Amino acid sequence: MAPKEKKTKEQIAAAAAAGSKKNKKKWSKGKSKDKLNYAVMFDQATLDKFMAEVPKMKLVTPYTICERLRINASLARRGIRELHHQGLIRPLGEQHHSHYVFTRPAAA
């Protein structure tokens, strides 16, 4: 193997200056989402829409209700709990106390 050539300080400085002419990679600014102003309390119109639409949905989760009805997730969870107690929706598969995945009841 051939021995390495020793570079002088001037050669090292020139190489560093030549290499820094490239554009350095910029950090991306990232994506920002606007804050959503969803309802935090049921008004009569939203409650009527909730009671009419949600029992007909194939998959009932807090997220799907939030997106469709523009309500807060905590409000959606409370509504799901109420519909479940009334028997208008049923749990989908094994349930965990923090998972709210429901579907419409089976036709009898």
Give pLDDT tens digits for 46-78: 999 999 999 999 999 999 999 999 999 999 999
Provide the 3-class DSSP secondary structure of residue 70.
Answer: coil
> Residue 88 — pLDDT band, cuts 50, 70, 90?
very high
Nearest C-alpha neighbor of 77 from the set 101, 59, 106: 101
User: Which class would CATH give 51-103?
Assistant: mainly alpha
Mean pLDDT of all residues in 18-22: 61
0.85 exceeded by pTM: no
Residue 90's H or E segment, with its range, is strand 90-91
